[in-house]
Amino acid sequence: MVQKSSEKAVRGRPRSFDTDQVLGAVRDTFWRFGFAGTSMDQLAAATGLHKPSLYGAFGDKKRLYLAALNHYLAEVSADFALALSRDSWLKSATELLDQSIELFLRGKDGANGCFMMHTAMTETNSDPEILHVVRDAMDRLDKAVARRFRIAIEQGEFPEGADPEALSMIIVGCHYEISARSRAGYSRKELKAMADRAIRVVKEFGGAREAGSVH
């Protein structure tokens, strides 16, 4: 899921602003208004920078959006990678979905849900570059979660015949469903109940073995 930043450094004098803070403000503005609904005037106001400074540091509105999107995806990827490093599939899947709930409920001014899904999906039909970023991020998450289930199968947490890709689809599908429902105003309690149901489906569908059981 990690994306390469599309931000381009300005030659000459060094920047006099914190890039992470600026991209955070840019992200929150796009998150609230969407890509098409956000103007450079709004981005300048949100960041406290003049439009020429934004153009000089990042390029046009699309380049600024992609820099914010890639920055967001890199942060999310790092958090998910940590979750997937836990010592059991159950801890990994539970932590990943808990992180999804926290992430998608943190938006400001009602801008809940996944930043990528909310802002980028509407642009994928007309912009191949944004489509590529979205597809790459989704593919990376699919592969990372499937890899974690493959390890769980190798370690005997599931029977050898379990399908890691199918198990991954359940967790990843719940991740995106949490995004949609948080956007629709569902509560933390409702989202957690949905995540718990997804975990139960994985256990039953995959034939998960209890810790310490004989393989």
pLDDT digits (tens, 9 = 90+) for 172-215: 999 999 999 999 999 999 999 999 999 999 999 999 997 644 44
HSE, CB side, 13 Å, CA atoms: give it for residue 2.
5
With 0-12 / 13-18 / 19 or more C-beta atoms within 10 angstroms meaning exposed / middle / buried, residue 66 is buried
The number of residues making up the chain comes to 215
**Dihedral angle computed from the Cα positions of residues 168, 170, 171 and 172, in that order, rounded to the nearest 10 degrees:** 80
Q: What is the pLDDT of residue 111?
A: 66
- The closest alpha carbon to 26, from 59, 206, 151, 126, belongs to 59
Dist. CA 34–CA 111, nearest whole Å: 9
- For the chain, the C-alpha Rg in angstroms (whole number) is 19
SS3 labels along 131-173: HHHHHHHHHHHHHHHHHHHHHHHHCCCCCCCCCHHHHHHHHHH
DSSP E strand boundaries for the chain: none
DSSP E strand boundaries for 78-132: none
pLDDT digits (tens, 9 = 90+) for 1-53: 444 444 444 343 445 678 999 999 999 999 999 999 999 999 999 999 999 99
- The stretch 135-147 carries a mean pLDDT of 98
b vs e for 117-151, b when ≥16 Cβ sit within 10 Å of the residue's Cβ?
A: bbbbeebeeebeebeebbeebeebbbebbbebbbe
Confidence of residue 112 (pLDDT cuts 50, 70, 90): confident
Sole residue written with tokens 């949609």: 180
The structure tokens listed for 167 are 């198990």
Q: Do residues 54 and 41 lie in contact, with contact meaning Cβ atoms separated by under 8 Å? A: no
- The closest alpha carbon to 8, from 86, 78, 85, 60, belongs to 60
- Global confidence as pTM: 0.87
* Domains of the chain: residue spans and CATH: 19-206 (1.10.357.10)
Dist. CA 78–CA 76, nearest whole Å: 5
End-to-end CA distance of the chain: 33
